[in-house]
Amino acid sequence: MVGRGYAAFRKERVGDDDAQYERWIARAVGGDPGRDADGEGDPEDPARAPGDGRVRTWRGSGRFSPRNQFVAQALEDAGLGTLLIDLLEEDEADDRRKVFDIELLANRLDAAAHWLGLDPETRGLRLGYFGASTGAAAALVAAARQPEPVGAVVSRGGRPDLARDALPDVVAPTLLIVGSFDEDVLELNRQALTLLRCAKELAVIPGATHLFPEPGALEEVARLAEQWFLRHLSADSLARRDPSRTNTVGPIPTTF
Protein backbone atom coordinates (compact mmCIF):
# COMPACT_ATOMS: atom_id res chain seq x y z
CA MET A 1 0.00 0.00 0.00
CA VAL A 2 1.56 3.28 -1.09
CA GLY A 3 2.28 5.53 1.86
CA ARG A 4 2.33 2.76 4.47
CA GLY A 5 4.56 3.36 7.45
CA TYR A 6 5.96 6.83 6.66
CA ALA A 7 4.47 9.16 9.26
CA ALA A 8 6.07 12.46 8.28
CA PHE A 9 7.70 13.66 5.07
CA ARG A 10 9.83 16.49 6.44
CA LYS A 11 9.62 20.01 5.07
CA GLU A 12 13.12 21.07 4.08
CA ARG A 13 14.49 24.17 2.41
CA VAL A 14 15.39 23.06 -1.11
CA GLY A 15 17.53 26.02 -2.00
CA ASP A 16 18.23 29.50 -0.73
CA ASP A 17 16.49 31.12 -3.69
CA ASP A 18 13.85 28.43 -4.19
CA ALA A 19 11.93 28.39 -0.92
CA GLN A 20 8.71 28.11 -2.91
CA TYR A 21 9.68 24.51 -3.66
CA GLU A 22 9.52 23.77 0.05
CA ARG A 23 5.89 24.85 0.06
CA TRP A 24 5.19 22.98 -3.16
CA ILE A 25 6.76 19.75 -1.91
CA ALA A 26 4.87 20.03 1.37
CA ARG A 27 1.62 20.23 -0.59
CA ALA A 28 2.66 17.61 -3.13
CA VAL A 29 3.29 14.92 -0.56
CA GLY A 30 0.34 15.85 1.62
CA GLY A 31 -3.28 16.11 0.63
CA ASP A 32 -6.48 14.24 1.26
CA PRO A 33 -7.02 11.03 -0.74
CA GLY A 34 -10.74 11.72 -0.74
CA ARG A 35 -10.32 15.23 -2.08
CA ASP A 36 -9.11 14.63 -5.58
CA ALA A 37 -8.51 11.53 -7.68
CA ASP A 38 -5.45 13.29 -9.07
CA GLY A 39 -4.12 14.38 -5.67
CA GLU A 40 -0.62 14.73 -4.35
CA GLY A 41 2.01 12.31 -3.09
CA ASP A 42 2.64 10.05 -0.13
CA PRO A 43 5.90 8.17 0.42
CA GLU A 44 6.62 4.59 1.34
CA ASP A 45 9.13 4.27 4.16
CA PRO A 46 12.50 3.60 2.48
CA ALA A 47 13.64 1.78 5.61
CA ARG A 48 11.15 -0.94 4.75
CA ALA A 49 12.67 -1.45 1.34
CA PRO A 50 15.63 -3.81 1.02
CA GLY A 51 17.14 -1.63 -1.68
CA ASP A 52 18.51 1.81 -1.51
CA GLY A 53 17.38 3.72 -4.51
CA ARG A 54 14.28 5.69 -5.46
CA VAL A 55 12.01 5.52 -8.50
CA ARG A 56 9.46 8.22 -9.28
CA THR A 57 6.14 8.47 -10.99
CA TRP A 58 3.92 11.53 -11.38
CA ARG A 59 1.49 13.83 -13.12
CA GLY A 60 -0.46 13.16 -16.21
CA SER A 61 -2.39 11.14 -13.73
CA GLY A 62 -1.87 11.59 -10.03
CA ARG A 63 -0.89 9.47 -7.09
CA PHE A 64 -4.45 8.16 -6.77
CA SER A 65 -4.56 7.09 -10.41
CA PRO A 66 -5.25 3.33 -10.56
CA ARG A 67 -2.49 2.98 -13.18
CA ASN A 68 0.14 4.62 -11.02
CA GLN A 69 -1.05 2.82 -7.92
CA PHE A 70 -0.84 -0.49 -9.77
CA VAL A 71 2.72 0.03 -10.98
CA ALA A 72 3.84 1.35 -7.59
CA GLN A 73 2.34 -1.67 -5.86
CA ALA A 74 4.09 -4.01 -8.28
CA LEU A 75 7.41 -2.33 -7.52
CA GLU A 76 6.72 -2.60 -3.80
CA ASP A 77 5.93 -6.29 -4.21
CA ALA A 78 9.39 -6.61 -5.75
CA GLY A 79 10.86 -5.09 -2.59
CA LEU A 80 11.14 -1.49 -3.72
CA GLY A 81 10.02 1.37 -1.49
CA THR A 82 7.82 3.83 -3.39
CA LEU A 83 6.86 7.49 -3.44
CA LEU A 84 4.26 8.91 -5.82
CA ILE A 85 4.14 12.67 -6.35
CA ASP A 86 2.50 15.16 -8.70
CA LEU A 87 4.62 17.83 -10.34
CA LEU A 88 1.65 20.13 -10.82
CA GLU A 89 -0.70 21.54 -8.22
CA GLU A 90 -4.45 21.12 -8.62
CA ASP A 91 -4.97 24.62 -9.98
CA GLU A 92 -2.18 24.08 -12.53
CA ALA A 93 -3.21 20.67 -13.83
CA ASP A 94 -5.82 22.02 -16.26
CA ASP A 95 -3.42 24.56 -17.73
CA ARG A 96 -2.12 22.91 -20.90
CA ARG A 97 0.80 25.34 -21.04
CA LYS A 98 2.03 24.04 -17.70
CA VAL A 99 1.30 20.41 -18.55
CA PHE A 100 3.66 20.83 -21.51
CA ASP A 101 6.15 23.08 -19.72
CA ILE A 102 8.90 20.49 -19.48
CA GLU A 103 11.34 22.92 -17.88
CA LEU A 104 8.86 23.63 -15.08
CA LEU A 105 8.24 19.92 -14.48
CA ALA A 106 11.95 19.08 -14.60
CA ASN A 107 12.79 21.92 -12.22
CA ARG A 108 10.29 20.57 -9.71
CA LEU A 109 11.66 17.08 -10.07
CA ASP A 110 15.17 18.42 -9.53
CA ALA A 111 13.94 20.20 -6.41
CA ALA A 112 12.29 17.08 -5.06
CA ALA A 113 15.43 15.03 -5.71
CA HIS A 114 17.53 17.66 -3.96
CA TRP A 115 15.08 17.69 -1.06
CA LEU A 116 15.44 13.91 -0.71
CA GLY A 117 19.18 14.44 -0.54
CA LEU A 118 18.69 16.63 2.52
CA ASP A 119 16.51 14.21 4.45
CA PRO A 120 18.55 11.94 6.76
CA GLU A 121 16.39 8.94 5.89
CA THR A 122 16.83 9.31 2.14
CA ARG A 123 20.18 11.04 1.78
CA GLY A 124 22.52 9.12 -0.51
CA LEU A 125 19.89 6.89 -2.08
CA ARG A 126 20.18 6.12 -5.77
CA LEU A 127 17.28 7.49 -7.79
CA GLY A 128 15.21 5.98 -10.56
CA TYR A 129 12.58 7.97 -12.46
CA PHE A 130 9.32 6.51 -13.79
CA GLY A 131 7.21 8.95 -15.79
CA ALA A 132 4.28 8.93 -18.19
CA SER A 133 3.42 11.34 -21.00
CA THR A 134 5.06 14.75 -20.37
CA GLY A 135 6.33 13.46 -17.03
CA ALA A 136 8.63 11.14 -18.94
CA ALA A 137 10.11 14.11 -20.80
CA ALA A 138 10.65 15.89 -17.48
CA ALA A 139 12.37 12.79 -16.10
CA LEU A 140 14.77 12.70 -19.03
CA VAL A 141 15.59 16.40 -18.76
CA ALA A 142 16.18 16.07 -15.02
CA ALA A 143 18.32 12.96 -15.53
CA ALA A 144 20.43 14.79 -18.11
CA ARG A 145 20.92 17.86 -15.92
CA GLN A 146 21.66 15.98 -12.68
CA PRO A 147 23.14 12.61 -13.78
CA GLU A 148 24.98 11.78 -10.55
CA PRO A 149 22.10 10.42 -8.42
CA VAL A 150 19.99 8.93 -11.22
CA GLY A 151 20.48 5.23 -11.91
CA ALA A 152 17.66 4.45 -14.36
CA VAL A 153 14.69 5.97 -16.20
CA VAL A 154 11.48 4.29 -17.37
CA SER A 155 8.95 6.00 -19.64
CA ARG A 156 5.37 4.68 -19.95
CA GLY A 157 3.62 6.00 -23.04
CA GLY A 158 5.92 8.97 -22.72
CA ARG A 159 6.82 11.95 -24.87
CA PRO A 160 10.64 11.81 -24.94
CA ASP A 161 10.53 13.92 -28.07
CA LEU A 162 9.68 16.87 -25.82
CA ALA A 163 13.12 16.40 -24.21
CA ARG A 164 14.86 16.21 -27.58
CA ASP A 165 17.73 18.57 -26.80
CA ALA A 166 18.53 16.77 -23.55
CA LEU A 167 18.44 13.20 -24.88
CA PRO A 168 22.11 12.97 -25.97
CA ASP A 169 23.15 13.98 -22.44
CA VAL A 170 21.16 11.33 -20.59
CA VAL A 171 23.54 8.88 -18.90
CA ALA A 172 21.07 6.73 -16.95
CA PRO A 173 19.90 3.57 -18.74
CA THR A 174 16.51 4.39 -20.25
CA LEU A 175 13.58 2.13 -21.09
CA LEU A 176 10.81 3.45 -23.34
CA ILE A 177 7.55 1.45 -23.08
CA VAL A 178 4.87 2.06 -25.72
CA GLY A 179 1.76 0.24 -26.92
CA SER A 180 1.82 -1.03 -30.49
CA PHE A 181 -1.51 0.67 -31.24
CA ASP A 182 -0.31 4.02 -29.87
CA GLU A 183 1.09 4.66 -33.32
CA ASP A 184 1.95 8.36 -33.19
CA VAL A 185 3.62 8.10 -29.79
CA LEU A 186 5.43 4.95 -30.90
CA GLU A 187 6.97 6.79 -33.84
CA LEU A 188 8.04 9.66 -31.57
CA ASN A 189 9.68 7.15 -29.21
CA ARG A 190 11.50 5.48 -32.09
CA GLN A 191 12.92 8.83 -33.13
CA ALA A 192 13.91 9.65 -29.55
CA LEU A 193 15.64 6.30 -29.17
CA THR A 194 18.10 7.22 -31.92
CA LEU A 195 19.11 10.36 -30.00
CA LEU A 196 19.83 8.58 -26.71
CA ARG A 197 23.48 7.62 -26.23
CA CYS A 198 23.02 5.75 -22.95
CA ALA A 199 22.03 2.11 -22.50
CA LYS A 200 18.54 2.12 -23.98
CA GLU A 201 15.67 -0.05 -25.07
CA LEU A 202 12.27 0.39 -26.69
CA ALA A 203 9.69 -2.12 -25.47
CA VAL A 204 6.55 -2.34 -27.61
CA ILE A 205 3.57 -4.05 -25.97
CA PRO A 206 1.49 -5.79 -28.66
CA GLY A 207 -2.13 -4.71 -28.87
CA ALA A 208 -1.80 -1.94 -26.28
CA THR A 209 -3.05 1.62 -26.67
CA HIS A 210 -1.85 4.79 -24.94
CA LEU A 211 -3.17 4.14 -21.42
CA PHE A 212 -2.58 0.36 -21.51
CA PRO A 213 -6.17 -0.55 -20.53
CA GLU A 214 -6.07 -3.86 -22.41
CA PRO A 215 -5.99 -7.10 -20.37
CA GLY A 216 -2.45 -7.81 -19.23
CA ALA A 217 -0.97 -4.64 -20.74
CA LEU A 218 -0.38 -2.72 -17.52
CA GLU A 219 0.92 -5.88 -15.88
CA GLU A 220 3.52 -6.06 -18.65
CA VAL A 221 4.45 -2.40 -18.08
CA ALA A 222 5.00 -3.13 -14.39
CA ARG A 223 7.01 -6.27 -15.14
CA LEU A 224 9.28 -4.47 -17.60
CA ALA A 225 9.79 -1.52 -15.24
CA GLU A 226 10.63 -3.83 -12.34
CA GLN A 227 13.19 -5.73 -14.41
CA TRP A 228 14.78 -2.53 -15.69
CA PHE A 229 15.20 -1.04 -12.25
CA LEU A 230 16.47 -4.27 -10.74
CA ARG A 231 19.01 -4.60 -13.53
CA HIS A 232 20.31 -1.06 -13.64
CA LEU A 233 20.11 0.08 -10.02
CA SER A 234 22.04 -2.86 -8.66
CA ALA A 235 25.52 -2.49 -7.20
CA ASP A 236 26.97 -4.60 -10.02
CA SER A 237 25.44 -2.32 -12.64
CA LEU A 238 26.82 0.77 -10.91
CA ALA A 239 30.25 -0.81 -10.73
CA ARG A 240 30.22 -1.30 -14.49
CA ARG A 241 29.39 2.40 -14.97
CA ASP A 242 31.76 3.72 -12.29
CA PRO A 243 34.06 1.19 -10.53
CA SER A 244 35.02 3.78 -7.90
CA ARG A 245 31.48 3.86 -6.49
CA THR A 246 30.68 0.20 -5.93
CA ASN A 247 29.87 0.71 -2.25
CA THR A 248 27.62 3.74 -2.62
CA VAL A 249 24.43 1.99 -3.67
CA GLY A 250 22.31 -0.90 -2.53
CA PRO A 251 20.23 -3.20 -4.64
CA ILE A 252 17.36 -0.91 -5.76
CA PRO A 253 14.79 1.95 -5.93
CA THR A 254 11.61 3.64 -4.88
CA THR A 255 8.95 5.55 -6.83
CA PHE A 256 8.12 9.20 -7.23
Q: Is residue 62 part of a domain?
A: yes
Handedness of CA 96, 102, 107, 108 (dihedral sign): positive
H or E element at residue 14: none
| Residue from 147, 173, 159, 149 nearest 230 by CA | 173
Judge whether 55 and 71 are in contact, CB under 8 Å. Answer: no
Number of domains in the chain: 1
- Phi and psi at 63, nearest 5°, equal -70, -15
What size, in residues, is the chain? 256
* Strand 42-43, strand 53-57: pairing: unpaired
167 contacts 133 by C-beta, under 8 angstroms: no
Q: What sign does the dihedral 61-140-232-176 (CA atoms) show? A: positive
Q: Indicate the pTM of the whole model.
A: 0.74
Count Cβ atoms within 10 A of the Cβ of residue 7 and give its class: 0-12 exposed, 13-18 middle, 19 or more buried. Answer: exposed
Range of the domain at 153: 19-245
Helix (H) or strand (E) holding 158: none
Residue 1 lies in a domain: no
CB–CB of 200/26 below 8 Å? no
26 within domain boundaries: yes
Contact 176, 156 (CB under 8 A): no
pLDDT for 22 equals 52
**Strands 174-179, 150-156: pairing kind:** parallel
Is residue 7 in some structural domain?
A: no
d(CA 212, CA 5): 30
13 falls within a domain = no
Mean pLDDT per segment of 10 residues, for the chain of length 256 residues?
Answer: 27 40 50 34 36 42 79 87 80 89 94 84 84 94 94 96 98 98 98 98 98 97 96 64 39 32
Cβ-contact 73, 84 below 8 angstroms: no
Is the Cα dihedral 243, 222, 121, 9 positive or negative?
A: positive
CATH code where residue 46 lies: 3.40.50.1820
Q: Which pLDDT belongs to residue 118? A: 86
Tell me what pLDDT residue 126 has: 83
DSSP 249: -
**Which amino acid is located at 56 in the chain?**
R
> pLDDT at position 103, please?
96
Contacting residues for 32 by C-beta, under 8 A, at least 6 apart: 39
The answer as to whether 240 is a domain residue is: yes
